[in-house]
């Protein structure tokens, strides 16, 4: 079982940590031009989905998207398909 670091821990992420890839999203303080790190989170779930798709082809570890509490406005439905997961999992 992989345990994730608490969100109060300051560690540099989207570059890989020793166990997983972690992408942070914050609807209030994030920005979609950020890298998705703990200190520079993305703003939208859609951008996090794009980031997962960028990482997935070469990922050797699990990918987690950490959403900070808040309201995430979505202009259109978010659709996840097999491009959003590894080959051994189907959506």
Please measure the distance between the N-terminal and C-terminal CA atoms of the chain and give it in whole angstroms: 22
Give the chain's mean pLDDT.
80
Residue 72 dihedral angles phi and psi, to the nearest 5°: -110, 105
Model's pTM, two decimal places? 0.73
How far apart CA 45 and CA 60 sit, in angstroms, is 22
33 secondary structure, DSSP code? T
Closest CA to 80 of 49, 54, 51, 58: 49
Closest CA to 26 of 10, 43, 14: 43
pLDDT digits over 4-31, tens only? 444 444 434 444 445 688 999 999 999 9
Mean pLDDT of 54-79: 90
Q: Which helix (H) or strand (E) holds 45?
A: helix 45-55
């Amino acid at each position: 079982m992989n345990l994730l670091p608490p969100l109060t821990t300051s560690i540099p992420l989207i570059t890989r940590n020793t166990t997983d890839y972690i992408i942070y999203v914050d609807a209030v303080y994030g920005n979609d031009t950020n890298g998705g790190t703990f200190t520079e989170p993305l703003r939208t779930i859609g951008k996090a989905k794009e980031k997962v798709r960028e990482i997935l082809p070469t990922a050797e570890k699990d990918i987690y998207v950490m959403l900070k509490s808040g309201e995430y406005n979505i202009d259109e439905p978010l659709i996840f398909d097999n491009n959003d997961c590894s080959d051994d999992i189907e959506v």
